[in-house]
Structure 1
């Protein structure tokens, strides 16, 4: 955002500000108001104030009734949900079972980024106006957890506005649901200016209790770290995230602001195209070096993860050996990273037939994760030690995500927070072989081990905790032995908050407006 545009946006914030207006800044914007178009934390966090799932989360991340008041398993493959009565969408339309059947089907169509949540659904049935049944292809005891980020839309509104299918971020297509919203949540969208500001107002006819006293939220993307920090310190915004790690002490030393920090459940990792016979973006012709495990392992062992923690993250990261971190059910604390060893990496490259390395492009966002651009620059420098020349393409997430999600990439960075707080989520979305139903939807390099697929289905169906954890361990061990992806670290959360603001920071980095209060 230019200085002029920022001044205009913040001036507008000042005009609408009142005692119950909270002004929030983020390094990026939600790319759409459509809750099914992008499975990304910021987008789902923002739209999660407007739309709601059947089953939600409490402040301790435990499950809580939302649009469903109760649920039970009636057979190993069938769950019955009793829906909340008397709920209205923001346009006054009553919420019914038809909206649930429609919304869950909408997550499975072309363009949906939420397929991996519902890919094992066999049928969603309306029993009566406020009862639905979900039948799954195999037993699915963690189904309520899986539904916590699948938001319900109005069937009537979507049909009226030609928005029956989600926008496809890979193709750049937009529809009414991209810019307007009609949920059941505690806040409504009053104004939407993509990449400038979005204004939310309290839903006066909300069915539930809104604990906070905020009546209006002005959300402004400010991509420049220094500008975002300055806006917080000057009082132009009340909340911002992330606080750059180098500015946490500065924010805490101010009389009016504080940094709210904590561990995040997100794991940052690198992926490689392991499917194509020839990489799209490399000087190696006629073959794909990433199909060779020795090359993948060489890349892994050439990355100085402790150096990244010290110099780039300033200690605010936890190096990881797997795609989930502490706090996720199924985390394996005994797993160790492959050692950082440049000489061993060079030897592996030579054994694989690349003693002089090769060139490859790397896709990386520069406004999505903490220090993402700098991490990728450091990885590129590390890999130069084994004669790999990285052509780094760091860009805003608005162009980065569409590119990598259509698999137009050879080597990329991604971050992942399991929405279910369970290892099955990452196994199903990232470690499974890719199909057209949603399995492996974010396995962008098409890693594939049929044994991992088999174990994923066992983890999904198993109710015995010890057996289930043994399956998870076996799958993670196989994935690590394959070097299916290169795990980097879990980043730490840091929100900058004016001391007059009370809010709740969750380990999944969701920010719910209903829990924000001002004096």
Structure 2
């Protein structure tokens, strides 16, 4: 064989190696703890679904609020045209393409909003975000006049929750659990099989906001924390989420990268303040009580201050959380400076129980999901143990997440239950869901498992939602936060800290405030 032929073959082999390595380098494998229930962007408003669908479908307004939110959404600007009727002209960006090549127009927006209204049997509906829209009038293919309910000021936050899908053909009739729609966001759906725990996405270069992101993303879903970490160590995946601080330290010793972020996701207990007799509280012999102890604010406060949050964070969360004294993270626009993390005070807790007539305590069950929040099962078990200090004989019971949320939020089954929530600067999002009385027709109180109802709070929330002055509206919500905590409507525990483990080939550059895994923010290490 001539030197020329050898040189040619060597060169060809090198080219193949380079091409192969480039193909490999253009892919990333991500293992998530929580699998989505559906990839239908309108079906079920929970984090494990949004984690994946938010990369496929774009919202009318970006995730962050204020003027910057319009830079990342489908809407270019919103102009007031009738203050009395609260009508605004919504101007869409031109030349936004769906993954199927079709251009986005007002027809797709109207279809998406109407579909959310009509989607049946949604266990956690997006309907509350479209309910304030009274009417929609088409001006042209990029402009639509939206009339919102009288006095309603916080529609920007609602629009940030509405994902837009491509309007299908006129023969389309199937409303439920449909993933055949096309989106406009960073990645398009290539293949999925939720039964086999896989979702495959490919970068959509037609989105104006994406540049140099990794081309292919393959999701797998591994609920067990140790198995997820082992998959990273064994080079089966490149990124894993929701690891403990202890696991992160182990990975760092092995040369893996990590990324940690404080989040605004608050973990708290909800209490049944609605029923005169609550099903999971009895006397110490298991007999029903004549009255529900949780209707007494002193009992709720005693339970709250009997919980040692610092100890929970240290022993259960491995130091991987921040103590909470309210629903909003300190420093956020709606957080009250008058509210601090709640101190452990057994002496006061015992005194309150005695004053309320429950010196000898009672029996109760605390319910929570298993695997939905970081160390959720261990958390409610530790809280149950702490309540023995005020003579409450508590046990903890964890249920599979889907069963748990159906019972907690749809059926209001429990006496005390665990919930997590990630507020944003749209106050109505939090207060309408968590603290207004449940009203299925009006899509209010969908997260209010304990059916808490305080007329003073209700009026304060309504006033805030009808206030167009941003600063004054925030002050009203801060007062509402103080009312919620002082009345012990919930028992805040901690704010989650989220950790990712990564192989050496990956870098992660998420925007400030992002706590879900944002696949568009990964880059290959150079």
Normalised by the length of structure 1, the TM-score is: 0.86
Moved more, 464-473 or 292-301: 464-473
Residue 69 of structure 1 corresponds to 76
Distance change (3 Å), C-alpha of 1:93 and 1:61: same
Contact 1:21/1:216 (<8 A) preserved: yes
**Which aligned pairs between 1:480-499 and structure 2 lie closer than 5 A?**
480-499=485-504
Following the alignment from structure 2 to structure 1, what is the Cα–Cα distance between the partners of residues 517 and 232?
17
Following the alignment from structure 1 to structure 2, what is the Cα–Cα distance between the partners of residues 474 and 59?
21
Residue 253 of structure 1 corresponds to 253
Q: 2:158 aligns with which of 132, 146, 149?
A: 146
**Which aligned pairs between 1:60-139 and structure 2 lie closer than 5 A?**
62-63=68-69, 64-76=71-83, 77-109=86-118, 110=120, 111=122, 113-139=125-151
> What do the CA deviations read for 1:212-270 (whole angstroms, capped 9, x no partner)?
34222111111111111121222211111111122121222332x21101210111111
Report whether the alignment pairs 1:200 with 2:200.
yes
> What do the CA deviations read for 1:33-82 (whole angstroms, capped 9, x no partner)?
12223322232121011111111147999412422222223344223211
**C-alpha displacement of 1:426:** 1.5
Contact 1:180/1:192 (<8 A) preserved: no
Following the alignment from structure 2 to structure 1, what is the Cα–Cα distance between the partners of residues 462 and 302?
31
Contact 1:377/1:392 (<8 A) preserved: yes
Distance change (3 Å), C-alpha of 1:338 and 1:58: closer
**Which aligned pairs between 1:117-266 and structure 2 lie closer than 5 A?**
117-156=129-168, 160=172, 162-163=174-175, 175-177=176-178, 180-194=180-194, 196-202=196-202, 204=204, 206-255=206-255, 257-266=256-265
Report whether the alignment pairs 1:22 with 2:32.
no
Following the alignment from structure 1 to structure 2, what is the Cα–Cα distance between the partners of residues 85 and 60?
21
Distance change (3 Å), C-alpha of 1:433 and 1:138: farther
Following the alignment from structure 1 to structure 2, what is the Cα–Cα distance between the partners of residues 356 and 124?
60
Contact 1:324/1:423 (<8 A) preserved: no
Following the alignment from structure 2 to structure 1, what is the Cα–Cα distance between the partners of residues 67 and 497?
18
Distance change (3 Å), C-alpha of 1:145 and 1:250: same
Contact 1:265/1:508 (<8 A) preserved: no
Moved more, 471-480 or 396-405: 396-405
Q: What secondary structure is seen at the aligned counterpart in 2 of 1:249?
A: helix
**C-alpha displacement of 1:285:** 4.3
Residue 350 of structure 1 corresponds to 354
Q: What secondary structure is seen at the aligned counterpart in 1 of 2:338?
A: coil
Q: 2:399 aligns with which of 395, 415, 421?
A: 395
Can you give the 5+ residue segments of structure 2 that lack an aligned partner in the other structure?
Answer: 1-22, 283-287
Q: What secondary structure is seen at the aligned counterpart in 2 of 1:429?
A: helix
**C-alpha displacement of 1:343:** 3.2
Distance change (3 Å), C-alpha of 1:471 and 1:158: farther
**C-alpha displacement of 1:154:** 3.2
**C-alpha displacement of 1:429:** 1.8
**C-alpha displacement of 1:295:** 1.9
Moved more, 118-127 or 260-269: 118-127
Q: What secondary structure is seen at the aligned counterpart in 1 of 2:523?
A: coil
Contact 2:43/2:177 (<8 A) preserved: no
**C-alpha displacement of 1:466:** 4.3
Contact 2:369/2:401 (<8 A) preserved: yes
Residue 60 of structure 2 corresponds to 54
Q: What secondary structure is seen at the aligned counterpart in 2 of 1:263?
A: strand
Q: 2:47 aligns with which of 41, 49, 60?
A: 41
Max radius of gyration: which structure? 2
Q: 2:326 aligns with which of 308, 322, 325?
A: 322
Following the alignment from structure 1 to structure 2, what is the Cα–Cα distance between the partners of residues 513 and 157?
31
Distance change (3 Å), C-alpha of 1:500 and 1:338: closer
> What do the CA deviations read for 1:132-166 (whole angstroms, capped 9, x no partner)?
23322244444323322321123426972612xxx
Following the alignment from structure 1 to structure 2, what is the Cα–Cα distance between the partners of residues 152 and 159?
19
Q: What secondary structure is seen at the aligned counterpart in 2 of 1:133?
A: strand
Shift >6 Å, 4+ stretches: 58-61
**C-alpha displacement of 1:205:** 6.2
Can you give the 5+ residue segments of structure 1 that lack an aligned partner in the other structure?
Answer: 1-16, 164-174
Q: What secondary structure is seen at the aligned counterpart in 1 of 2:302?
A: helix
Following the alignment from structure 1 to structure 2, what is the Cα–Cα distance between the partners of residues 186 and 196?
24
Report whether the alignment pairs 1:272 with 2:271.
yes
Residue 293 of structure 2 corresponds to 289
Q: What secondary structure is seen at the aligned counterpart in 2 of 1:248?
A: helix
Following the alignment from structure 2 to structure 1, what is the Cα–Cα distance between the partners of residues 215 and 65?
21
Distance change (3 Å), C-alpha of 1:67 and 1:100: same
Following the alignment from structure 2 to structure 1, what is the Cα–Cα distance between the partners of residues 343 and 521?
43
Residue 367 of structure 1 corresponds to 371
What is the count of residue pairs matched by the alignment?
Answer: 489
Distance change (3 Å), C-alpha of 1:93 and 1:451: same
Contact 1:33/1:47 (<8 A) preserved: yes
Contact 1:324/1:426 (<8 A) preserved: no
Residue 12 of structure 1 corresponds to none
Q: What secondary structure is seen at the aligned counterpart in 1 of 2:508?
A: coil
